Amino acid sequence: MAGHSLSEYDGFYPHESVSDAVKATLKNPRESAFMARFALACRAASKKRREKEDHGEHIPPFLIASITSQCNLHCAGCYSRCNQATTDMAPVRQLTGEEWRRIFEEADDLGISFILLAGGEPMIRRDIIEAAGRRPNILFPVFTNGTFMDEQYFDLFDRCRNLVPIMSIEGEKTITDARRGAGVYDRLIANMDELHRRSLIFGASVTVTTQNIREVSSASFLQKLSDRGCKAVIFVEFVPVTDGSKELAPGDADREYLTGEIARLRKEHPEMVYISFPGDEKNSDGCVAAGRGFFHINSHGGAEPCPFSPYSDINVRDTSLREALKSPLFLALQDGGVLLDDHEGGCVLYEKREQVEAILSQSRG
């Protein structure tokens, strides 16, 4: 595999994340109990993956599942809408609830520990999120815009502690509503307050741009999240998919600043877990997409390297997750060293999309 050890990533990231999460929930008995049980399940899953690794088969610990491409918001610069992967209406021939349940079952059997539920807006498909709640060995962060949170969802998150809402927020009210729409910030804050009142764990996802990088890493913003009970902040670097949005993409100096701030926050404020994407990939010696550390299933079942690289040569509707991980595209990206190539920063597969497209064309023969 192009001179790198896939198992190094497999052993590091899940256990570090779970360990940090356990520490962050020590003051919440129910959450601490769940996280302790999940830590045991995570170790058992890691053992499954290592046994397969010993027989020459690599299973990544993460899967990103875009369970719908429908969304009710039109966020400025949304990569998914720009790629025409997100629409206002329910897509034609998206995977059924039963097909997603089969995927979750196989993921559990393979030893996949984390499935990030995304969209579109994933909370539109309540039946699939309910099915995920019935898989306690897997942690399901639900990346949501927060506008579909209601009493039924609060009750579901209370019953199924493996479902963790991760709400997208861009900073304070002005910048959040400017990107996501008027009134969204107030809805998010109300959701956070209700989750906190019920002692439910939740996190925040922040798209980092040149416009908000100082605000979202500021002590005041993060303290407000912490005071409301937020236990994880995921910083996702903005990836431009149009020429008109390139000025929003963080540059080298911005990334260096954010890396330093996250290192400081992890040391000084362990009450929350801080994750940086793709910044934390440096710990794994390159991009971890295309099955190296994770892969993406889109709403129609296509197995893709990642959401920012929407290319597929195999569909899980027609095959298994296990076979999808052996797709010619995934193997070529791993063996060809594209994932380890030097690049300007941000998403290497997006930056080298012409090379990825050429590999895809070859894999289709």
Residue-by-residue pLDDT tens, the chain, 365 positions:
333 333 333 433 444 555 555 455 556 677 778 888 998 999 999 999 999 999 999 999 999 999 999 999 888 777 666 666 666 777 778 999 999 999 999 999 999 999 999 999 999 999 999 999 999 999 999 999 999 999 999 999 999 999 999 999 999 999 999 999 999 999 999 999 999 999 999 999 999 999 999 999 999 999 999 999 999 999 998 887 777 778 888 988 998 999 999 999 999 988 899 998 876 766 666 788 999 999 999 999 999 999 888 999 999 999 999 999 999 999 999 887 788 765 555 678 878 888 898 989 887 76
Q: Where are the domains of the chain?
A: 6-363
Bridge-based pairing of strands 296-297 and 273-277 is unpaired
The class (CATH top level) of 6-363 is alpha beta
Nearest to 4 by CA among 289, 304, 279, 292: 292
Q: Which two tokens stand for residue 357?
A: 């497209």
Rounded Cα distance between 361 and 329, Å, is 9
Global pTM? 0.89
Q: What is the 3-state secondary structure (H, E, C) of the chain?
A: CCCCCHHHHHHHHHHHHHHHHHHHCCCCHHHHHHHHHHHHHHHHHHHHHHHHHHCCCCCCCEEEEECCCECCCCCCCCHHHHCCCCECCCCCCCCCHHHHHHHHHHHHHHCCCEEEEECCCHHHCHHHHHHHHCCCCCEEEEEECCCCCCHHHHHHHHHCCCEEEEEECCCCHHHHHHHHCCCHHHHHHHHHHHHHHCCCCCEEEEEECCCCHHHHCCHHHHHHHHHCCCCEEEEEECCCCCHHHHHHCCCHHHHHHHHHHHHHHHHHCCCCEEEEECHHHHHHCCCCCCCCCCCEECCCCEEECECCECCCCCECCCCCHHHHCCCHHHHHHHHCCHHHCCCCCCCHHHHCHHHHHHHHHHHCC
